[in-house]
Amino acid sequence: MYKAIVVDDEKWIVEGIKAGVSWGKYGFEVIGHADNGLEALQLIKTLRPDLVLTDIKMPEMNGLELIKNGKSVSPETLFVVLSGHAEFAYAQRAINYGTFGYCLKPFEIEEIHSMLARVADYLHGKLKTKSPSLSLDMYEAICSGNTLKMKQLLEDYDMPLHPNSKITPIVIQGVNLASVNHEVKHFSFSMNLRRQGFLVYDELKEAFLHSWNMAPPSGSFSAGVGYAISDVAELEASLEAASLSAYGIFSTGKTGIYPANNKNSVPINETLRDIKFALEHKDRIQFIKILESSRDLFHNLTFTIKDAYLIYTTVTYLFFHEGNQIDIRFFEGYEQLYTHYGNVDALIDDILKNSYTHFTEELPANAVKVAHKKVKEIVIYLHDNFTQEISIQGLASRFYLSPNYLCQLFKKEVGETIVEYVSRLRIQYACKLLKETDHTIQQVGEQCGFQDYFYFTRIFKRYNKITPTQYRVNK
């Protein structure tokens, strides 16, 4: 349906036109009306109608001014003047402003029907000749930075940029979009088989996105929304922001609409530096902490798929640099990473699984010695989580065993109690931190899972016969 608004300061004329004209017969619907030019101009900005029927003499802003200003904010809108015989000279001037035609008052309904038929034929022919569907030229122009070509394509489709008429790029990810049809005016272009870009007037983006929210195509999808622009020179950067945001489904695992990230994100360089330090010092516990913290940053959209790609390639490079033979590969870009893993949780889990062979810990030897499958799972869990608070009741619930049976089984298979085993892992890790870092004794204790400084020093001395301070001096 084509959209129309009626503007006249005489309400009986507006109501008569709305009720008496067979709008639907010619493919139109009246979506708004106004009794002065200023109000009408705001409707034009917001609704982007295909047709405006307007009076000439009105308060606030007359019809000629409305046509002139309306054309500047919505060049694709057609204007038809409703004019009395005494205003015929004004109607002729309106033609020079680019109006489609005029109807003289007092008019017959048939006269308006005839005008609607002409307008409908014009709009139908315009859509056939200027369909932007899957335009390759626009995406090529954006990628090459050809601002002249971008500007020309937008003007050809009656979507020119203007300070009062901004455009917002939107990227849809993960669905077959070939048959999608939106009533909201837009310019679309293919980015690849799974991604399509759209350019929409900023004031219409909510209406455009609403159609996706209410009736998304089959399968999962993710929409990324860039920021509004008034200059084609800004289009590439805004589209890139929308493109990254469209991978919100990768970061959260959830279908949805994601605006460009405006958060004060944690610098990725700090995370990459910590990863490098943990790998170089064979510190699996710290490595796990970093990745688990990163997982949260992805889930709340502080980190994007760009950061996931940097983390993945950094870890992969360092693994290979150390000569580790692991089942991991390099990806050429975000799309390959997304296609392979689907979401960031699968990516992080895979990195953690492949990292076992990199770290020289006692875990492999201990796991091999344990014959009982359930106890072996518990040993692996303790090695990954001994710096966290661990209780017998919590372990029993996690592994579906009674607390008493868990303690008896663990002591039988491993040769020491769970408390003794966890304490030894913590003290071994404390020795590593005391040798390789300059953290204070209290910081070392806290990082190993001891919240009480004096308890940490007492347990440390029990295992090593000297205090943490003496150990650091001697080493």
> Shortest CA distance to 131 belongs to which of 182, 204, 172?
182
Report yes or no: 261 and 301 within 8 Å, Cβ to Cβ: yes
Q: What is the chain's percent helix, strand, coil content, to nearest 5?
A: 55, 15, 30
pLDDT of amino acid 178: 43
Tokens of 471: 């150990």
* CATH class of segment(s) 2-129: alpha beta
Report yes or no: 36 and 60 within 8 Å, Cβ to Cβ: yes
What is the chain's pLDDT, residue by residue, as a tens digit (475 residues)?
Answer: 788 999 988 888 888 888 888 888 888 888 889 988 899 898 888 888 889 998 888 888 888 888 888 887 887 888 888 876 555 555 555 555 567 777 777 777 888 888 898 888 888 766 544 444 445 788 888 888 889 989 888 888 878 887 778 899 999 886 545 444 456 788 888 887 678 899 999 888 888 887 665 544 445 678 899 999 999 999 999 999 999 999 998 999 888 889 987 655 567 888 999 998 888 878 888 888 899 999 999 999 889 999 999 999 888 888 766 655 555 566 767 888 888 888 999 999 888 877 766 665 545 455 557 778 888 889 888 888 888 888 898 899 989 889 899 999 998 888 889 988 999 888 988 998 898 888 899 999 998 888 888 888 988 988 888 999 888 887 6
pLDDT of amino acid 235: 93
pLDDT of amino acid 134: 47
Domain ranges of the chain: 2-129, 136-259, 268-358, 363-474
How far is it, in rounded angstroms, from Cα 379 to Cα 56? 84
Tell me 30's DSSP state. E
pLDDT of amino acid 237: 92
> Shortest CA distance to 305 belongs to which of 226, 248, 225, 227?
248
Looking at domain 363-474, which CATH architecture does it have? Orthogonal Bundle (1.10)
Tell me 133's DSSP state. T
pLDDT of amino acid 171: 92
Chain centroid to CA 80: 42
What are the residues whose beta carbons fall under 8 Å from the beta carbon of 191, sequence distance 6 or more?
Answer: 139, 171, 197, 243
Provide the CATH number for the domain formed by 136-259 in this structure: 3.30.70
**Identity of residue 278:** A
pLDDT of amino acid 281: 79
Residues in the chain: 475
pLDDT of amino acid 355: 75
pLDDT of amino acid 308: 93
How far is it, in rounded angstroms, from Cα 151 to Cα 143? 14
pLDDT of amino acid 19: 87
pLDDT of amino acid 288: 87
Same fold, 2-129 and 363-474: no
